[in-house]
Amino acid sequence: MARKVRPDPVGPGGLPPLSEQLQWRRRARNGSGRSLTDEDVEWVYQTLHSPAVPFDCGTKCREHNGGIPFCCDHSVAVPVAYEPELRLLERRTDLWHRWVPISRMDQRMVDEVDPYNIHVVCKGVDHCERDNRSISCRIFPFYPLTTRSGEILGLVYNEVLDSRCWLHDRQRMIAASFVVENLTFWHFLFEHLPEERELFVGISTQLRRTHSTAGTKPQVLRPEGIFEAPTRDGEGPLRYLGPLESHRLGLSGRMVPIGVTAQ
Ligand code: SF4
Ligand code: SF4
């Protein structure tokens, strides 16, 4: 996500909690030296505007978290903004400020990313400005699953909030327009920041291993519907599982070339 989930000190049985085991660095170290320009960030903000579902899903989960949607609660998850993104946001709004780590675990989260990636907090859900949400807010709760060679297969659910996110088992409800916009964004990002592609190739490999061990297969969302992805190296045809509900509603959205043959 868009978000780094704040780890609990320890999970059941002394193991790291599930959210931490599944934790992934959303942002790579900026090894290529390439950067997003203001125009790039503006373009991304214009591109990522559809909600994941056609209503405020925060109304579904907030009742289980003292009135605050889990992904907007900074004691649960902290968004990360690109340095040029934060610069742009600071010119547009006073909604955001840099997050100040307090505990050793907080500091560990900061140490995992380089200065190009900045943990940020907003003024809170009552002050949310839709047009000034971070990229992190706009893409949650999905990220791209890639093949070993870096081809994007589709969007996969981000487990960092596990079942606390109301959408975790309702992926058919995700709007095709959201999927299209997100895939367009990830293609753009991988072109502009190659280290992000490398990061997600690694995350995808890890996810496939987890599924392989469990005897399951990752499910990906594409504009055409939900598919089962191969586990070995991600190469090969996807198996069609069914449509997104938005197809039934005639809200398929614009198609983008994805470059993977679907069955
Ligand atoms: S994305 Fe998930 S956690 Fe965030 S508001 Fe919607 S249901 Fe809640
Ligand atoms: S900007 Fe809005 S969507 Fe993003 S974390 Fe804050 S309240 Fe949530």
Q: Indicate whether residue 5 lines ligand 1 (CB < 6 A).
A: no
C-alpha pair distances (Å), 160 with each of 77, 129, 170: 9, 24, 16
What lies within 8 Å, CB to CB, of 186 at 6+ separation is 144, 152, 200
Say how many Å lie between the CA of residue 165 and the centre of ligand 1.
5
From the CA of 168, give the closest atom in ligand 1. Answer: 2
Residue 189 φ/ψ region, left for φ over 0, alpha for ψ in the -120 to 50 degree band, beta for the rest: alpha
pLDDT at 20 over 70: no
In a domain, 72, yes or no: yes
pLDDT at 155 over 60: yes
Six token digits for residue 14: 């002394």
From the CA of 132, give the closest atom in ligand 2. Answer: 1
Q: Indicate whether residue 62 lines ligand 2 (CB < 6 A).
A: no
In a domain, 129, yes or no: yes
Ligand having the closest approach to the CA of 5: 1
pLDDT at 251 over 50: no
In a domain, 258, yes or no: no
In a domain, 256, yes or no: no
Q: Which of 14-28, 32-46, 95-109 has the lowest mean pLDDT?
A: 14-28
What is the mean pLDDT of the segment spanning 93-116? 91
Contact 30, 193 (CB under 8 A): yes
Nearest protein CA to atom 2 of ligand 2, as residue: 128
Domain of 68?
Answer: 3-248
Six token digits for residue 223: 């504009």
Quote the percentage of the chain above a pLDDT of 70: 81
In a domain, 67, yes or no: yes
Q: pTM for the complete prediction?
A: 0.85
Q: Indicate whether residue 76 lines ligand 2 (CB < 6 A).
A: no
In a domain, 259, yes or no: no
In a domain, 257, yes or no: no
pLDDT tier at 252, thresholds 50, 70, 90: very low
Q: Indicate whether residue 69 lines ligand 1 (CB < 6 A).
A: yes
pLDDT at 73 over 70: yes
In a domain, 262, yes or no: no
**Number of domains, the chain:** 1
pLDDT tens readout for residues 200-246: 999 999 999 999 999 999 999 999 999 999 887 767 889 999 999 87
What's the pLDDT score for residue 6? 56
What is the mean pLDDT of the segment spanning 51-72? 96
pLDDT tens readout for residues 22-56: 343 445 556 667 889 999 999 999 999 999 999 99
pLDDT at 13 over 90: no
- Please, where are the H alpha helices in 15-101? 18-21, 38-47, 58-61, 83-92
